Structures are given as C-alpha cells and as structure tokens.
Amino acid sequence: MTSAIEIPRAFALAALAAVSALAPAVSSAGADGGGEAGLAFHAIQFHAGAGTKGPQASGEGVAGVEYRRDFEKGSAGYISAQTVFKNLRLGDNEYDYSVVVGLYTFKGQLISAHERSIVVPPDWKYTWTSQSFGWPESGKWDVGTYRVKVWLEGEKVGEAAFYIHDGEAAIEPGIDELEIESLAFYEGGDFFRPGITKRPGTSFARSRARRIYWVVRARNRLHNVRAQRPNIVGYYYRPDGSLMAAAASTSVVAPEVEEVVLVEGVGWQAAGNWEPGRYRFELEQDNRVIAERHFVVTDPLTKPRTRPRVVHYGLLDAGVYPAGDGGEAAAAPGGARREYLEVFDPGDTGDLWAEIVVVNNPNYTTEHSHKVAWEWVGPGGGTLAESAGDFTIQPSWKTASRRHSFAPAPPGTPWDEGHYKVRVSVDGRLLTVLRFTIKGAGAAPRG
C-alpha cells in the first residue's frame, strides 16, 4: 500500500488515540449528554467515490451510485465508505455528533483516519455520512481486503470490509484454488468431525454450546495436480459488533482429494460461556470476504415467562388539550377521540392535559400493569413537573388511554409563552414526546 491516503499516518494515529482517550459511552448516546438514545449504527456501504473530505452528513443516500464490496485495481481511485445511522431522536431537536472513520489493512494496520462533527436535524429518519479514501488516479491500490471501522461519540459501533482485485489475473492450474460450495455451523467438543451424529444449525443453546465450528465444503480445482494449503479464515463477531476471534484453516489438501471439507472453530471446553445474542461471521478466502452469515446463541438458563412481556406499545393517539378535572386520570378502555391542540393562548389558565391512547398487546389474557411516567419540560429546557403511576390494562381492552394534567402555580397563574414538551415513558422506556406552544391568539402551529 502506498503510504499516503488522504492524510498522514501520524495524524491518523493521533485521531484514534484521541478517540480511545474518551470516556466510555453508550454507542447511541446523545450529544447533549442527557443519556437518551441518539443515533444507532445501521450499515456501512461502499461505492466509487470522488474524494470528499467527509464525513459529510445528509438526510438521504447518494443517488445513482452502485454499492458494492469488490473493486478492480486498474479502475479504482477513490472509494467512499458510506455509514448509515438511524435517528432515534426523530422530531426532537438538532444534535451534533462526533464520528471517526478509519481505514485498515487486512492485518489490522491503520492506514488513515478522519474525525469530524456531523449535525443531525430533527426531521432526518436516517443519516448518511460519506468518507472517501484513495487517490485521484486509479491503479494505486494494492490487491487485498481492507476494513473500515466507525466510532460514534468515542465508541466503536461498526465495521465492514471491501476487496481490491486484479481483473487481469486468471485462474491457472498452478494456483492454489478451491471452489467453495457450502458453509455451515456446528457445535462440538475439542475434537470434532461433522457427520451423522451432528447436524448444522444457526441457533445454539448457551447451556450446551462449547465450541462453534465453521465447516466449508468445496471442490478442489487442483485435483490430480498438486497439494495445497488453502488460505481460508473465519472471523467471529460478538453481538455488539466487536471482533471475538479468528479461526484459520490449517489443513493441507492432497491432490487426490476431489471434494474438500475444512473445519475450524472457537469456543471453550465447557458449555455456558457464550454470551447470548446474534453473532456475525465472515469467511475470507485469499484475503477476500466471500461469505457473511449469522448464528444465534440463546439463553435457556433464563426461565420462560408465564405470559408475554410487552416490549412496545402501538401508539394510536397522543396530544395535549385544555381544561380537565385535575390530577392524573387512570387507564380507561378506548379513549375519547379528542381534537388535540398544538397552540394555546398565554391568557389560558388552569390545567392542560397530556393524553396517550395505546394499542393493547393481544397476547395478554390477564390484567397487566405497567409504570407510566410524565415529564413536563418548559421553554428553557428545565423540568416543570414529574409524575409516575401504574398503568393497568384489562385483557378485553383493544386500546387504553391514560392522561396527566399540569398548570403553573399558584392557581390562576398564566402560562409563559414558548415551546413546551411532555416526555411520556412506559416501564422506563421513552414512548413519545408531545409538543405544544403557548403563543398569542391566532398563532399558527410551529412548523
């Protein structure tokens, strides 16, 4: 690899050193330090680039480009890595985020890194950030696999690989070569051979999983030509996206073998050590990623629940309206189909009501209760009031409503003009943010 790609190596090392020096943070933590989810890593995509300094943020992807992971050496100049994040604060406020994008060789050597701040407006559902690596001229890339890693707010959140190949190279009888036909996963002990006593799978119980093996079946293109040692490596990635281990094939394939079976694995002698979750696996042949698969480690050590747990409420209606009878209203079936308002006159006194109407989980067959919390936030961002209570829903209710009221103290005090919001959480999870404005009569809603 030629030494200069966009920036000097010394600066690249300094940029990543600065990232590693940051305090640990949740990968989707918000830039305001409030502890709420902000951005969630979604994907990294590659296409032929134009040398932008990046990462430059936009609310949509690059139009008219062909995303791919293979690039031909003779025509590759700049290659753009486009990272996609999901905005978990949709409709809230505009936030700044720190993003670092690094380019690495197959062996993990840092080539280049860029650190930038991106601004995410509240109406972007997804954020695309592009960073290009390479040269204005083509033909300078070395053949091989390259990795791009991404840090968000000081924590690594994702990585992906692309491959530079030589389009002029042809397969000849004297070159080591296997034609991969299948890839499968097996669980086993220290000495394992796939056979009739084991079946492949993509889901393994934590209580029984020791080592998880990758098994490749291939056709020997050097059959009756000569022996070969295949350059095939399997990479295991943990559920959080970090690299767990690499397992390289050490087998020598004899020339008389026509159908080849390669087996390697990682794990432990004893069961119960795998972290539950979804693992990603990459298979590389001759430093090129040729397959990506996933498998799941389940956790039967956790006893199954006697009834389903609600992990998400379907929100049917939510809004703010004037003048209730005070206090906090208990859950009720259905819910009045009110006309929710966005603007109120500053001369209005008394309570304003925040209400949500949610869809009940049809799997429930008994009464179930959850904790609902309300936080009223004033124009300056400060908390005006907080309250929490049980949210009890009967199984016969298709929908259920709950509402909460607030008014300035003492009674009769007019509201201050400005933008307000109400954060509504259920079982500790933010369900929705209601917004309204106190403004003069006849004012239009905030755009």
Q: CATH number of the domain that 220 lies in? A: 2.60.40.1930
Q: Rounded to 5 degrees, what angle do the CA atoms 120, 122, 126 make?
A: 60
Residue 258 and residue 343 in one domain:
no
* Local confidence band at 90 (pLDDT 50, 70, 90 cut-offs): confident
Over range 206-230, report the average pLDDT: 86
Amino acid 142: pLDDT:
85
Residue 293 and residue 321 in one domain:
no
Let me know: does 153 contact 205? Beta carbons within 8 Å.
no
Let me know: does 87 contact 127? Beta carbons within 8 Å.
yes
Q: Would you say residue 303 lies in a domain? A: no
pLDDT tens for each residue of 388-432: 888 888 878 888 888 888 888 888 788 889 999 999 988 888 888
Name, in order, each residue with C-beta under 8 angstroms of 241's C-beta and a sequence gap of 6 or more: 41, 156, 157, 158, 159, 280
Q: Would you say residue 170 lies in a domain? A: no
Residue 348 and residue 383 in one domain:
yes
> Between residues 205 and 359, which one has the greater pLDDT?
205
Over range 147-161, report the average pLDDT: 87
Amino acid 11: pLDDT:
39
Residue 31 and residue 140 in one domain:
yes
Residue 280 and residue 358 in one domain:
no
Q: How far apart are CA 294 and CA 235, in angstroms?
A: 11
Let me know: does 238 contact 249? Beta carbons within 8 Å.
no
Q: Would you say residue 2 lies in a domain? A: no
Residue 14 and residue 156 in one domain:
yes
Q: How far apart are CA 239 and CA 8, in angstroms?
A: 33
DSSP-derived letter for residue 15 is H
State yes or no: pLDDT of 266 exceeds 90. yes
CA distances from 293 to 139, 182, 216, 236, 309 (A): 31, 11, 13, 10, 29
**First vs last Cα of the chain: how many Å apart?**
51
Q: Would you say residue 39 lies in a domain? A: yes
Q: How far apart are CA 95 and CA 362, in angstroms?
A: 37
If DSSP states are collapsed to H, E and C, what string results for 363-398?
CCCCCEEEEEEEEEECCCCCEEEEEEEEEEECCCCC
Last residue of a domain, one of 237, 265, 298: 298
Amino acid 316: pLDDT:
76
Amino acid 182: pLDDT:
86
The strands making up 178-188's β-sheet, listed across from edge to edge, are 178-188, 211-220, 259-267
* Local confidence band at 375 (pLDDT 50, 70, 90 cut-offs): very high
Last residue of a domain, one of 241, 269, 298: 298
Stretch among 159-173, 289-303, 313-327, 419-433 having the lowest mean pLDDT: 159-173
DSSP-derived letter for residue 414 is P
Q: How many CB atoms lie within 10 A of CB 309?
A: 10
Q: How far apart are CA 382 and CA 351, in angstroms?
A: 19
Mean pLDDT is highest, among 117-121, 244-248, 426-430, for 244-248
The strands making up 78-87's β-sheet, listed across from edge to edge, are 39-48, 78-87, 126-134, 56-58
Over range 265-288, report the average pLDDT: 89
Amino acid 282: pLDDT:
92
For the record, the structure tokens of 149 come out as 């890693």
Reported pTM:
0.40
Amino acid 334: pLDDT:
65
Name, in order, each residue with C-beta under 8 angstroms of 309's C-beta and a sequence gap of 6 or more: none
Q: For the chain, what is the radius of gyration of the CA atoms?
A: 28
Let me know: does 236 contact 292? Beta carbons within 8 Å.
no
The Cβ-side half-sphere exposure at 264, using a 13 Å CA radius, reads 17
Over range 246-274, report the average pLDDT: 89
| Residue with token string 């050097």 | 222
Residue 218 and residue 156 in one domain:
no
Q: Where residue 97 sits, what CATH number does that domain have?
A: 2.60.40.10
Stretch among 221-230, 247-256, 277-286, 396-405 having the lowest mean pLDDT: 221-230
The C-alpha torsion from 302 through 303 and 304 to 310, rounded to 10°, is -60
Q: Would you say residue 18 lies in a domain? A: yes
Name, in order, each residue with C-beta under 8 angstroms of 75's C-beta and a sequence gap of 6 or more: 138, 139, 167
Residue 50 and residue 154 in one domain:
yes
State yes or no: pLDDT of 377 exceeds 90. yes
Q: How far apart are CA 43 and CA 401, in angstroms?
A: 37
Domain count within the chain: 3
Question: For residue 29, what are the domain limits?
Answer: 9-165
Residue 238 and residue 261 in one domain:
yes
Q: Would you say residue 309 lies in a domain? A: no
Residue-averaged pLDDT of the chain: 77
For the record, the structure tokens of 230 come out as 């295949």
Residue 291 and residue 325 in one domain:
no
Last residue of a domain, one of 110, 140, 165: 165
State yes or no: pLDDT of 172 exceeds 50. no
Amino acid 37: pLDDT:
56
For the record, the structure tokens of 104 come out as 């690495």
* Local confidence band at 6 (pLDDT 50, 70, 90 cut-offs): very low
Amino acid 20: pLDDT:
42
For 446, phi then psi, to 5°, come to -65, 135
State yes or no: pLDDT of 2 exceeds 70. no
Residue 350 and residue 233 in one domain:
no
Q: Would you say residue 117 lies in a domain? A: yes
Residue 17 and residue 105 in one domain:
yes
pLDDT tens for each residue of 314-361: 777 888 888 754 456 666 676 656 788 888 887 766 788 898 888 877
